[in-house]
Chain A
Amino acid sequence: MKKMLRVFALALAVAGAPAFAATADALKLVHERLKIAPVLKGEFEQTKTLKGFKNPLVSRGEFLVARGQGVWWHTQQPFESTLVVTRTRLFTRNADGSATNLMDAQAQPGLEQVSELVFAILAADLDALADKFDVAAQPAGASGWTLVLTPRDPNIAKVLVRATLAGERDVQSVRIDESRGDSTQIRFSRQVPAAALAADEGKRFQ
């Protein structure tokens, strides 16, 4: 059971972060083409296809990823909501600026691993990713690449079929296929790398 929850967080991490990694030669290629910045912000468009829903659920918004700090995921359309993952907690930001904890590391030690994974992905820590996933990398066109991550842990595999990342210098899309039949496609755009967080951005993780 606990694993299911971890998968939830893991899926969130994979979906929420401009992410990737891999094995051997193909990985090297991804490494070469991918530029990693300590801070990355941009916009996203997420399309969720859920069992039981006639129409796909499309949402748009902005995101901010800071290495060592966390992931800030701000949905603007069709409903305003903010989700934040840090090393120690997972919370939603309410309209009035207050935070509602969904999980914290005190009660859910597994969250720290999730954060670690997010940061491993950001740092393109291939070892850490290869630990958890079978990675297949392919070049796409002159400057692009695709990574298909298949979970090694049978518990995770029960929930997550695969995660597919594609991009060039940045990750441009992530697709998550769940064994339940649901899938999520996220496209990133207008990505801006930065060396550090702006002064007001740091507050988003508190």
Chain B
Amino acid sequence: MNFEPAPRPVRRLPWQLAAWAWLACCLVVAAHQVAFWRGSHFDTDVMALLPQDEQAPEVGIATRQLADQVTRQVVVMIGAPDWAGARKAAGAWQQSLAAAHAPLRASAMAGPDTLRDTLAFYAPYRDRLLTPAQRQRLREADPQSLVRDALAALAQPGGGARLVDWNADPLGLWPQWWLARASDTRARPRDGQLALEDAGEQWIVLLQETTGAAFSMTGDAPISDALAQARVAALAAVPGAKVLAGGVPLFAESAASHAHREVNTIGWGSVAGVLLLVFLAFRSLWPRLLMAVSLLVGVAMALSATAFVFGHVHLLTTVFGASLVGCAEDYGLYYFASRQGAPGEPPLRLISTLLPGLALALLTSVLGYVALGLPPFPGLRQMALFSVVGITGAFMTTVCWFPWIDRGVVRRTRFSAWVVDSFARYPRFGGARGTWLAHGAIAAACAIGIAQLRVNDDLRQLQGSPAALVDAQREIGRLLGLASPSQFFVVRGTSPDDVLARESGLTARLDALVGQGALAGYRALSDWVPDAALQRRQAEWTRRIEDGVIAGVNRTLGESQQRAGFAPEPLTLDKWLASPASRSARALWIGAVPMADDGTAFASVVMLRGVRDLAALPPIARSADGLPGVRWVDQVQSVSALLGRYSHSMGLLLAGGHVAVLLALAWRYGRRAWRAWAPTALATVGTLALLALLGQPLQLFNVLALALLLGIGIDYGIFLLERENADAGSAWLAVVLGAASTWLSFGLLALSSTPALRSFGLTLLFGILIVWFTAPLYRKSS
């Protein structure tokens, strides 16, 4: 045990000011936290973590818009061999759901008035709207045969086919145009329900939307629970019925309750282990309580800062944030272990002695995270900001408050004395030949391991959604013939009409692919509102042809019909958007997009339905070739490509982080710096080698874990180096307690069922263990 040679007086005033200033800071954050938890600022969409294409801002907007549209939607499909069975099962399902009081309500279906209004809105423009097939027919058919068709249609039964008076649509073009619009989905109204038949099975589609926040942070799954109950009720009513449920809220809820459960496991595991360790070491839970305060402050500040800068906090950020515990509590442990080593020392004097080392530990951790946040990767930046603010908050709390709150005398316990004493006996790498041989052997083993390292950029690694949910979602998409949200075209133009005209160029090519069976169809705004030039052309056509047909029918039947009048002006996008008639297709319009050159462009989305298979995608993607302003977006592919690009640069950034940390260490310790750095470097390389040998592919989360390892591991090196002449045993106690508790908590993460969390946990499991046991090996010979 060493004592300071001569007690120097410590100036209290700066420390007092710091404590009060920090309290003010905490109060501001507390106020913000109240607002934060009232609103829901959590995000579960993995896409939100990924960088956006800066060349084409409309792609990002389109992606968000398509995602927003479905964030609240839950789709349930109930199937039975016959319609009566499906209705019975659906009735039981609805009754059970209503009784469960889940935060769900049935989406309003378009009523008769909406349908009538929509028809009335479009009717004046009927002459300007044609399907591609009608265009072809009107171009090719001779006038005589069109007159014959009109007469035959008049003779046939089925008056309701005409949606307007005969003289407003003598060829019956209008219902066909609506039929084409109706093909957006396979579901049709039947007995007041949405229904469809598939392979002899009758399905009822029940559209629901969530009423509460996107998901709860309590870990409950009220929607999934209510749906499971309703499913049981449906199956009880009709044995053999099928119930499918899908939708973003279910995925979000599953992810949230999953993450919650696992964060809880980690949290409780960590708490139990650490409580035991702290109790053994300090024979008091007081230090633990103070460390909890510092953590709480850190996490609250991190949440507030992240919400302030990014507008929302991603769920994965909070999971990563839970892992900050390991880093943040090191400061508190170091403080209390040192207090024990110098029981007579006033806390204020002690903290001023420890401050340089603590600050350096903070600085190196911050450097590691900043390196991680350098690439324009919103997810990584968010995690980097969260971590930097979180550990800074914990650090400031430790430094500013602990000396004032912690007044008692801290005594050595038998356990801490044993740990402290063990340090002197711990082996050390000297310059002996055996040491170098051992290093050579380790280096060779690492080289072999790392040579086998594989990189995995599969996006699905990030999200561990239950397979049953994924399957149900896929089946619903297939049954309903829904447009894919991950592959689409974005069309950009200088004006709304330009966008529509460019869309027509694209859809003409897509029509050919539909004919070849590459896809079932597409959804495009220009189908609902053609560009002005096309409308004008079609209006002229229909006028010329229908005048002829009406004249012919008049001659044959001795009538004197006159063609009805239509709107003189084309239907514009503005008019359409302002009307409720645009409801079903409005989401395809992106609107004005600010461009890099300060100009404004307009953009829309063209979605695909029923793409035959993956092999059909390349020819579909090529439809955009040579069309100005048309861009193909394949999120699955581009995200994988992106992750591939970044995992390479993230490796470099991690290396850069190590260099930056080493420089910071050299600035304080000069030539001794390597002693603090070597254990972490060894752990990083060793962990990579171990992962490779275990056949674990390297991905984003391993790199994140290695960044955290850099933050934690260097702390241990610094503590030991900082106190090597004073009270190295106490620093070792801090290292042992910190490493053990971190290891306990992250060891549990390795058990997670989410692939991302598992690889995160496994990486830290190895890394912390290596740092822990190698850190003292590099100490100076006494």
B112 engages A6 (CB within 8 Å): no
CB–CB B152/A1 < 8 A: no
Q: How far is the CA of A52 from the CA of B157 in the complex (A)?
A: 18
Write the nearest CB–CB distance from A158 to chain B, whole angstroms. Answer: 5
A5-B175, A8-B158, A155-B112 known; A54+B559 contact, CB < 8 A: yes
Residue of B nearest to A16 (CB): B157
Given contacts A153-B191, A158-B112, contact A109 B186 (CB under 8 A): yes
Q: Is B108 an interface residue (CB 8 A)?
A: no
Contact B160 A1 (CB under 8 A): no
- Say yes or no: is A178 at the interface (Cβ < 8 Å to chain B): yes
Whether B159 and A5, one on each chain, are in contact in the complex, defined by CB atoms closer than 8 angstroms, is: no
Query: CB-CB < 8 A to A113: which residues of B?
Result: 188, 190, 195
- Does A73 belong to the interface (CB within 8 Å)? yes
Q: Assess whether B440 is interfacial by the CB under 8 Å rule.
A: no
Q: Which of B155, B158, B161, B186 contacts A57 (CB 8 A)?
A: B155
Q: Which residues 47-79 of B have a CB within 8 angstroms of A? A: none
Contact of B119 among A1, A6, A184 (CB under 8 A): A1
Q: Does any Cβ of B come within 8 Å of A35's Cβ?
A: no
List of A residues within 8 angstroms of B183 by Cβ: 107-108
* Stretch from A21-29, A74-82, A141-149, A188-196 that touches the partner: A74-82
Which residues of chain B are near A110, meaning CB under 8 Å? 188, 190
Complexed CA–CA distance, A183 and B112 (Å): 22
Q: Give A1-25 as 1s and 0s: 1 = Cβ < 8 Å from B's Cβ atoms.
A: 1111111111110011000000000
Cα A8 to Cα B561 with chains together (Å): 23
> For B188, what are the chain A residues with a Cβ–Cβ distance below 8 Å?
2, 6, 108-110, 113
- Tell me whether A55 and B559 are in contact in the complex, defined as CB-CB below 8 angstroms, given that A2-B189, A109-B188 are known contacts: yes
Docked-complex contact B179 and A108, CB < 8 angstroms: yes
Contact A4 B155 (CB under 8 A): no
Q: Which residue of B lies closest to A159 (CB)?
A: B160
Contacts of B163 in A (CB 8 A): 4
Q: Which residues of A contact B116 (CB under 8 A)?
A: 158
Taken together as a complex, chains A and B put the C-alpha atoms of A206 and B178 apart, in Å, by 26
Q: Which residue of B lies closest to A158 (CB)?
A: B112
Bound-state Cα–Cα, A184 to B158, Å? 9
Q: Is the CB of B160 within 8 A of A7?
A: yes
Which B residues are CB-close (under 8 A) to A180? 159, 162, 165
B782 within 8 A of A: no
B534 to chain A, nearest CB (A): 22
A108-124 at interface with B (beta carbon < 8 Å) = 108-110, 112-113, 116
| Nearest chain A residue, comparing its CB with the CB of B560 | A54
At the interface, yes or no: B154 with Cβ under 8 Å from chain A?
yes
Q: How far is the CB of B205 from chain A (nearest CB, A)?
A: 11
Tell me if B415 counts as interface (CB < 8 A to partner A). Answer: no
State whether B197 touches A55 (Cβ < 8 A). no
Roughly how many angstroms separate A169 CA and B619 CA in the complex, as a whole number?
A: 61
Contacts A4-B178, A5-B178, A52-B166: A155 and B189 contacting too (C-beta < 8 A)? yes
Give complex CA distance A186, B159 in Å.
12
Name the contact of B152 in the complex, choosing from A3, A15, A81 (C-beta under 8 A): A81
Pairwise interchain contact B157-A15, C-beta atoms closer than 8 A:
yes
B182 CB-CB contact with A under 8 Å: yes
A155 CB contacts on chain B under 8 angstroms: 112, 115, 189
Question: Do the beta carbons of A50 and B159 come within 8 Å of each other?
Answer: yes
**A138 within 8 A of partner (CB):** no
Q: Among the interface residues A59, A103, A178, which one has the most CB atoms of the partner chain B within 10 A?
A: A59
Task: Give the contacting residue for A6; candidates B151, B189, B192, B560; CB below 8 A.
Answer: B189
Contacts of A54 in B (CB 8 A): 558-560
Q: Given the complex of chains A and B, what is the CA–CA distance between A131 and B178 in angstroms?
A: 27
Query: In the bound complex, what is the Cα–Cα distance between A180 and B167 (angstroms)?
Result: 14
Interfacial chain B residues near A1, Cβ < 8 Å:
115, 118-119, 178, 181-182
Minimum CB distance partner of B172 in chain A: A102
Cβ-defined contact, A4 with B186, below 8 A: no
Residues A3 and B561 in contact in the complex (CB < 8 Å), given A103-B179, A153-B192? no
The answer to whether A53 and B561 touch across the interface, beta carbons within 8 angstroms, is: yes
**Is B557 an interface residue when CB atoms closer than 8 A count as contact?**
yes
**Are the CB atoms of B161 and A81 closer together than 8 Å?**
no
Among residues of A, the one whose C-beta sits closest to the C-beta of B83 is A116
Asked if A182 CB lies within 8 Å of chain B CBs, one says yes
Nearest residue in A to B180 (C-beta to C-beta)?
A107
Residue B196 at the chain A interface, CB threshold 8 Å: yes
- B156 and A182 contact, CB distance less than 8 A: no
Give A33-48 as 1s and 0s: 1 = Cβ < 8 Å from B's Cβ atoms: 0000000000000101
Question: Do A15 and B158 form a contact, CB below 8 Å, given A1-B115, A6-B189, A79-B152?
Answer: yes
Tell me which residues across on chain A come within 8 A of B182, comparing CB atoms: 1-2, 5, 108
Q: Is A129 an interface residue (CB 8 A)?
A: no
B535-564 toward A: CB 8 Å interface, digit per residue (1/0)? 000000000000000000000011111000
User: Which single residue of chain A is at the shortest CB-CB distance from B184?
Assistant: A2
Cβ of B148 < 8 Å from any Cβ of A?
A: yes
What residue of chain A has the Cβ atom nearest to residue B156's Cβ?
A83
Complex: how many Å from CA A116 to CA B151?
A: 29
Q: Is A135 an interface residue (CB 8 A)?
A: no
User: Which residues of chain B (167-219) have a CB below 8 Å from chain A?
Assistant: 167, 175, 178-179, 181-183, 186-192, 195-197
Tell me, in angstroms, the Cα distance from A119 to B609 when the chains sit together: 32
CA distance A50 to B559 in the complex (A): 12
- Knowing A1-B178, A1-B182, A107-B183, the reply to whether A160 touches B155 (Cβ < 8 A) is no
Chain A residues with CB under 8 Å of B559's CB are 53-55
CB distance from A130 to the nearest CB of B (A): 12
Residues in B neighbouring A55, C-beta threshold 8 A: 557-559
Measured in the bound complex, the distance between the Cα atoms of B114 and A158 in whole Å is: 12
Assuming the contacts A153-B192, A158-B112, asked whether A57 and B557 have C-beta atoms less than 8 A apart, the reply is yes
Would you give the shortest CB distance from A19 to chain B, in whole angstroms?
12
B112–A154 CB distance below 8 A: yes
Contacts of A83 in B (CB 8 A): 156-158
A121 nearest CB across to chain B (Å): 14
Chain B residues positioned under 8 Å from A178 (CB to CB): 159-160
By beta carbon, the residue of chain B nearest A92 is B152
By beta carbon, the residue of chain A nearest B122 is A1
From A6, A50, A108, A176, B166 is in contact (CB under 8 Å) with: A50
Q: How far is the CA of A97 from the CA of B158 in the complex (A)?
A: 22
For A186, the closest partner residue in chain B by CB is B157
Asked if B178 contacts A52 (CB within 8 A), the reply is no
Indicate whether A12 sits within 8 Å of B158 (C-beta atoms), given known contacts A1-B115, A1-B182, A75-B152. yes
Name which residue of chain A comes closest to B182, CB basis: A2
A51-80 contact mask (Cβ, 8 Å, vs B): 1 or 0? 111110101000000000000010100111
Known contacts A55-B557, A158-B116; is-contact A78 B175 (Cβ 8 Å): no
Q: Given A5-B178, A154-B112: A48 and B154 within 8 A (CB)?
A: yes
Look across to chain A and name the residue whose beta carbon is closest to the beta carbon of B187. Answer: A109
A79 touches which one: B148, B161, B197 (CB < 8 A)? B148
Interchain CA distance A131-B163 in the complex, whole Å: 25
Chain B positions within 8 Å of A103 at CB level: 179
Q: A1-B115, A109-B196, A155-B115 are in contact. Are A132 and B152 (CB under 8 A)?
A: no
Q: How far is the CA of A11 from the CA of B560 in the complex (A)?
A: 27
Shortest beta-carbon distance, B147 to chain A, in Å?
Answer: 10
Bound-state Cα–Cα, A161 to B328, Å: 75
Beyond A113-B190, A116-B83, 16 additional pairs, beta carbon < 8 A: A3-B115, A3-B189, A5-B178, A12-B161, A50-B154, A52-B561, A55-B557, A57-B557, A75-B155, A81-B156, A109-B187, A112-B197, A153-B191, A155-B189, A160-B160, A180-B159
Q: Which residues of A contact B (CB under 8 A)?
A: 1-12, 15-16, 46, 48, 50-55, 57, 59, 73, 75, 78-81, 83, 92, 103, 105, 107-110, 112-113, 116, 131-132, 153-155, 158-160, 176, 178, 180, 182-184, 186
Please list the 7 inter-chain residue pairs (A to B) with the smallest Cβ-Cβ separation, ordered nearest first.
A12-B158, A81-B152, A59-B155, A110-B188, A15-B157, A8-B161, A11-B160
> Can you offer 6 A-B residue contacts whose CB atoms are under 8 A?
A1-B119, A81-B155, A81-B156, A83-B157, A83-B158, A103-B179
Q: Which residues of B contact A (CB under 8 A)?
A: 83, 111-112, 115-116, 118-119, 148, 151-152, 154-163, 165-167, 175, 178-179, 181-183, 186-192, 195-197, 557-561
